[in-house]
C-alpha cells in the first residue's frame, strides 16, 4: 500500500533581518521555519510528510485534494483579533495575522471535508480557533506557577504530567490516562470551539488536549509530541493520524456543515 500524504503546516516565518545566510548562499529573505522532528514523526508513523507553504488561500483546496491528513505544527502566538479579542496582552509575542488566516482557513476546509487533523501546541490552539474557540493569551496571568509551561530543558525531556479523561479518544489512542509531557507555550485553549471538548489538563488546570466530540479526528495536544516519539504513547498520536489518513484516502470525502 502507498503511504498517505500528510501535510504539515509551517506558521513560523523568519524575516530577512533574523536570518544569517552564508556568504556563498542566497541574500537575506523571508523564510519558512519548521523543525525536522515533525517530518520524522510522521515518517516513523508510516506516513509521507509534505510541508505546506503559507501561500494564497486559492492554493488550499488544490493542496487538500492531494492530501489525506493534516498536522498543524507549533509556532508563534495567534493574533487575538482572529478570535475576537480586541485587547492584546502585553506578554503577547510577535504575530503574523496573514499566516493565521491561511492556517485557520486550511483547518476549516480540512474539517469540512472530514479530513483527519492533528494539532500540536500552536496547532492545537489554531484548530480550536478554527471552530470558533478562544485562547488564554498569557498563562502567567492565570496560573499559580506550579507548572513550568515554558520549560528550560530540551524538547526531548518531559517536565510535567497531564491527566487525560478516561474514555476519551485521546486516552484510547495513547493507552494511558496520565502522561509525562514537555511544555513550550504560554497560551492555551480558553473556551472550546464548536463540537470540541477538553480531554487533558495539567496539574494547574490548563487545558492540554482537545478533541471532536464525535468520531471525526479533529484533535489537538498542547505539548510537543513530535519530540517525544521514543515514548510509544506519544508516537501513537502520529500513528493514529496516519491510520485515519489511510481510511480517508480510501473513501469518498465527507462534507460536513461549516
| Cα dihedral 193/199/202/205 (nearest 10) | 60
Query: Phi and psi (nearest 5°) for 212?
Result: -65, 140
Residue 224 annotated to the active site: yes
Q: Which of 226, 243, 244, 246 is catalytic?
A: 226
Q: Which of 12, 96, 103, 121 is catalytic?
A: 121
pTM of the model: 0.91
Q: Which of 149, 224, 233, 246 is catalytic?
A: 224
Per-residue pLDDT of the chain (258 residues; tens, 9 = 90+): 589 999 999 876 665 556 566 666 666 666 777 888 999 999 999 999 999 988 889 999 999 999 999 999 999 999 999 999 999 999 998 898 989 999 999 999 999 999 999 999 999 999 999 999 999 999 989 888 899 899 999 999 999 999 999 999 999 999 999 999 999 999 999 999 999 999 999 999 999 999 999 888 999 999 999 999 999 999 999 999 999 999 998 875 555 555
CB 115 within 8 A of CB 248: yes
Instruction: Report strand pairing: 178-181 vs 160-164.
Output: antiparallel
CA dist., res. 12 & res. 128, Å (int): 19
**CATH number for the domain formed by residue range(s) 5-18+27-249:** 3.40.50.880
Amino acid at each position: 500500500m502507498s503511504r498517505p500524504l500528510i501535510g504539515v503546516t509551517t506558521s513560523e516565518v523568519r524575516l530577512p533581518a533574523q536570518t544569517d545566510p552564508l556568504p556563498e548562499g542566497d541574500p537575506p529573505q523571508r523564510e519558512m521555519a519548521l523543525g525536522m522532528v515533525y517530518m520524522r514523526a510522521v515518517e516513523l508513523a508510516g506516513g509521507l510528510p509534505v510541508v505546506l507553504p503559507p501561500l494564497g488561500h486559492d492554493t488550499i483546496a488544490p493542496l487538500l485534494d492531494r492530501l489525506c491528513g493534516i498536522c498543524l505544527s507549533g509556532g508563534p502566538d495567534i493574533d487575538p483579533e482572529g478570535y475576537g479579542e480586541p485587547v492584546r496582552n502585553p506578554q503577547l509575542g510577535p504575530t503574523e495575522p496573514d499566516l493565521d488566516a491561511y492556517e485557520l482557513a486550511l483547518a476549516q476546509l480540512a474539517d469540512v471535508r472530514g479530513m483527519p487533523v492533528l494539532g500540536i501546541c500552536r496547532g492545537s490552539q489554531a484548530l480550536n480557533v478554527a471552530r470558533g474557540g478562544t485562547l488564554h493569551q498569557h498563562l502567567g496571568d492565570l496560573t499559580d506557577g506550579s507548572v513550568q509551561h515554558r520549560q528550560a530543558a530540551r524538547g526531548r525531556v518531559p517536565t510535567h504530567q497531564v491527566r487525560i479523561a478516561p474514555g476519551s479518544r485521546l486516552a484510547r489512542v495513547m493507552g494511558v490516562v496520565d502522561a509525562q509531557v514537555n511544555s513550550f507555550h504560554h497560551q492555551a485553549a480558553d473556551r472550546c470551539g464548536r463540537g470540541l471538548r477538553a480531554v487533558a489538563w495539567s496539574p494547574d488546570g490548563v487545558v492540554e488536549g482537545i478533541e471532536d466530540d464525535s468520531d471525526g479526528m479533529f484533535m489537538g495536544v498542547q505539548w510537543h509530541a513530535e519530540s517525544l516519539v521514543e515514548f510509544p504513547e506519544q508516537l501513537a498520536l502520529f500513528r493514529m493520524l496516519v491510520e485515519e489518513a489511510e481510511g480517508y484516502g480510501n473513501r469518498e470525502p465527507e462534507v460536513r456543515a461549516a
